[in-house]
Each structure stands twice: as structure tokens, then as C-alpha cells.
């Protein structure tokens, strides 16, 4: 399985940049990018003065490029970390490609229970509800989702999933993820490259998280780019496989990610599945085939039949959690389809830097001191 991922041609072009053969395509894209860049700058300038303030502390998790930067896993990691500190945490998402709704905002899930169908929620919010017990809301305008969460129950902090470019809403902290293996591609703005904003937009960020998917993929960031990132609070994180999950009676059953020596077909609908493949190799799976679909693909009965047929030539089909929420409605044979559950890890000293950045921004802090701090205080009192 050493071949290049079957990504759309435009995304391959973004990673390689122009050549003589692609010049006819490049010129109109470059012209469009030249228009897009000042339009983004003008929009951001407008919202610098006109942005609305959220009713609760709001933290944005976002990036500068299109897709493949682990925003959703990092959002879940941060939400769980803050919840362990005793905070009431909610997540707000746009719900990309969800069915248009008549309501401004909708509650997707609470206490792990889905309140909306997949079409109304969007695949990523529905996926997050499978592993996060707090409330999750969706809305085209994030302010509406945050307001819904604030009005329905007491809440301390809301995390915006993919919110860095949503400058219409003021945030208390902005965290920007940069994928070490993907980097910034050719560095051009959309549509000539993968950049939503130029690198200097990191000036709005409170911290930059350099995140790696591990494996043998080389880093795509050169020394000059790393030097620019180091001008900001720069932290490191890693994605790693945690478990396999399988649908069972309306819930997901979690099992050990024991794939060593098993013949596996990798199934994904991702912007860039290379990191997914790297994790399967890390688990020593024998990748005998891949099935690749477009990002946020909506699976059909024909897709199910093709996947089920492919599964007969392997021990198991392994997909992503984002894909499993759309595939679990089909009658796959028991133990033939699993999703790889991944998690974010960060060294505790760097995670504490993030705590120190976020916690002072809480408007009504209600956190318990860490155990070590409480012991220290007791010792001081005893003296």
C-alpha cells in the first residue's frame, strides 16, 4: 500500500505547485486567488469592529488550510480536558453539509444522546456525540449555537469546532492547528492553493498547535516556516490510535486496536487519508486494499454493496468514526466493520501551558485546583 492517496486532482496540485503541464490551469486559479486574498482581508477588517460578543467564554479551534488538520479530535480532547477540571463544556459547530434547517440553531446531542438525525446534525457533530457527553449545538452562525447552549443550561465554556475564520464572533482564545506532515502545501490562497488565510493571520492566534499523525511521513514544514511559527506560543501534539469501535444495538462498542497481522481494507471519506493509513500501519495491519471516497461522502446502498463485497477478501474493514456514523445504518455482517478511534496526546507540561492560557479567560471560573496544588495548599495551612 505504498501508492499515493487517491485525492482530487486539485488537492494534488495544491501540494505540488504549478508546472509547465499545469500552467493553463494555474493561471486562472492564481487570478482568482489574487481576488480572494484581499476579499478575506477586507472581511476580517469589517468584523474586527462589527463582531458580536458571545454570552459565555468561547474558545476557537481552527486552522489556516482546507481539511486534514485534526480539528475535531483536538476539539474533543480539549473539551474532555476542561470537563475534567470541573467545567461545564459545550461544543458549537457549523455542521458542514447538514440539511438546511428552519431553526437558527439546533441541539445535536446531550449526555451522549443524539437529538437530531444525521442529515440534520452533520457527520462530525454526530461523531463527536459518540465520545463526548456534553451538549453539542449546530448553526450556520456560530453565535446562534453558542447562545442556544448558554440559554438551555448553565455553561462555563463553549469550544468552536473549525472557528478561526468565523470572525463575526469574538472569541476569548483562538487555537490554530498546523499539520506537521501536510504543512501549508504550495502556500497559495484558495483556489490556487490550500490556504484559507495567509500565514500572517496567525497574529490573531493565542497559540499554534503543531500536530503530527506520526508514522513515517516526513514533515512538510521547512526551517523558515517553523521559525515563523515559533514567533507565537507553539505547542506540540500527536494523533495516535486508541481503540476500534463497532456499531452494536444503537451504540458503539469499543475494543482493543489489535490489528497486527490481520488483512485489513481501509475505508475512508477524508480530505487526506494518508494519516489514517499511517496509523493502521503503526498497528501492524496488513493493508490489502483501500476504498476511498470524497470528504464528507454520503454513502448509498450501492456503496454498501461494494464495501460488503470487498470485505469478503479481508479479515476486516476499518474506517474512520466520521464515516462510521454514516455507515452504521447498513446491515454489515457482525465484526466485519470497525472504526479506528483516535485521540490527541500532548506532553503534560505543554498541556499546562494551554491551561494557563485558557483558564484565566473564564468569565466565571468554577474549577477545582489540581490535586498537587490542593496538597500544597494544605501543607502551607498546616505550617
| C-alpha dist (Å) from residue 278 to 181, 202, 243 | 11, 28, 15
Average pLDDT over every residue of 69-86? 94
**How many other C-beta atoms can be found within 10 angstroms of the C-beta atom of residue 335?**
12
Q: Which residues contact 332 (CB under 8 A, 6 or more apart)?
A: 304, 307, 308, 311, 317
The confidence score (pLDDT) of residue 373 equals 34
Output the CATH code of domain 51-188+200-239+347-363: 3.40.50
* Residue in 68, 97, 66, 95 with CA at minimum distance from that of residue 196: 66
Domain with CATH 3.40.50 in the chain: 51-188+200-239+347-363, 241-343
Q: How far apart are CA 112 and CA 79, in angstroms?
A: 14
Element (H, E) at 114: strand 113-114
Torsion-angle region of residue 185: left (phi > 0), alpha (psi -120 to 50) or beta? Answer: left
The confidence score (pLDDT) of residue 369 equals 40
Instruction: Please say if the pLDDT value at position 3 is more than 60.
Output: no
Average pLDDT over every residue of 212-234? 83
Where is average pLDDT lowest: 221-235, 267-281, 365-379? 365-379
Element (H, E) at 76: helix 71-84
Residue 227 in 3-state DSSP?
Answer: helix
Average pLDDT over every residue of 58-76? 91
| Higher local confidence (pLDDT), 192 or 209 | 209
Percentage of residues of the chain with pLDDT beyond 90:
64
Average pLDDT over every residue of 140-146? 93
* Residue in 115, 118, 120 with CA at minimum distance from that of residue 100: 120
pLDDT band at 66 (very low <50, low <70, confident <90, very high): confident
Average pLDDT over every residue of 251-262? 93
pLDDT band at 10 (very low <50, low <70, confident <90, very high): low
Say if domain 241-343 classifies as CATH 3.40.50: yes
Q: Which residues contact 314 (CB under 8 A, 6 or more apart)?
A: 263, 264, 265, 288, 289
The confidence score (pLDDT) of residue 305 equals 95
pLDDT band at 383 (very low <50, low <70, confident <90, very high): very low
Q: How far apart are CA 35 and CA 45, in angstroms?
A: 16
Amino acid at each position: 500500500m505504498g501508492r499515493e492517496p487517491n485525492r482530487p486532482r486539485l488537492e494534488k496540485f495544491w501540494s505540488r505547485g504549478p508546472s509547465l503541464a499545469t500552467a493553463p490551469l494555474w493561471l486562472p486559479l492564481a487570478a482568482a486567488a489574487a481576488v480572494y486574498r484581499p476579499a478575506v482581508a477586507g472581511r476580517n477588517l469589517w468584523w474586527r469592529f462589527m463582531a458580536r460578543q458571545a454570552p459565555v467564554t468561547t474558545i476557537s479551534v481552527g486552522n489556516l488550510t482546507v481539511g486534514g488538520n485534526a480539528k475535531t479530535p483536538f476539539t474533543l480532547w480539549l473539551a474532555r480536558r476542561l470537563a475534567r477540571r470541573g467545567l461545564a463544556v459545550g461544543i458549537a459547530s457549523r455542521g458542514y453539509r447538514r440539511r438546511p434547517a428552519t431553526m437558527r440553531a439546533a441541539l445535536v446531542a446531550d449526555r451522549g444522546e443524539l437529538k437530531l438525525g444525521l442529515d440534520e446534525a452533520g457527520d462530525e457533530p454526530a461523531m463527536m456525540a459518540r465520545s463526548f457527553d456534553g451538549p453539542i449545538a449546530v448553526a450556520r452562525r456560530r453565535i446562534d449555537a453558542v447562545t442556544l447552549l448558554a440559554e438551555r443550561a448553565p455553561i462555563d465554556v463553549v469550544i468552536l469546532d473549525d472557528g478561526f475564520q468565523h470572525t463575526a464572533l469574538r472569541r476569548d482564545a483562538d487555537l490554530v492547528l498546523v499539520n506537521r506532515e501536510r504543512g501549508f502545501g504550495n502556500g497559495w490562497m484558495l483556489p490556487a492553493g490550500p490556504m484559507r488565510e495567509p500565514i500572517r493571520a496567525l497574529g490573531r492566534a493565542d497559540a499554534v498547535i503543531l500536530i503530527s499523525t506520526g508514522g513515517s511521513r516526513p514533515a512538510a514544514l521547512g526551517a523558515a516556516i517553523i521559525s515563523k511559527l515559533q514567533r507565537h506560543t507553539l505547542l506540540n501534539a500527536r494523533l495516535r490510535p486508541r481503540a476500534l469501535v463497532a456499531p452494536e444495538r444503537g451504540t458503539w462498542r469499543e475494543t482493543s486496536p489489535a490489528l497486527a497481522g490481520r488483512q485489513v481494507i481501509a475505508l475512508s471519506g477524508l480530505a487526506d487519508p494518508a494519516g489514517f493509513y499511517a496509523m493502521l500501519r503503526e498497528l501492524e495491519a496488513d493493508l490489502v486494499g483501500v476504498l476511498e471516497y470524497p470528504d464528507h461522502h454520503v454513502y448509498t446502498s450501492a456503496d454498501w454493496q461494494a464495501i460488503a463485497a470487498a470485505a469478503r477478501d479481508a479479515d476486516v474493514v476499518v474506517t474512520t468514526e466520521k464515516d462510521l456514523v454514516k455507515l452504521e445504518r447498513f446491515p454489515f455482517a457482525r465484526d466485519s466493520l470497525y472504526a479506528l478511534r483516535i485521540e490527541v496526546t500532548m506532553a503534560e507540561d505543554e498541556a499546562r501551558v494551554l491551561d494557563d492560557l485558557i483558564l484565566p479567560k473564564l468569565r466565571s471560573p468554577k474549577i477545582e485546583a489540581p490535586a498537587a496544588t490542593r496538597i500544597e495548599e494544605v501543607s502551607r495551612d498546616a505550617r
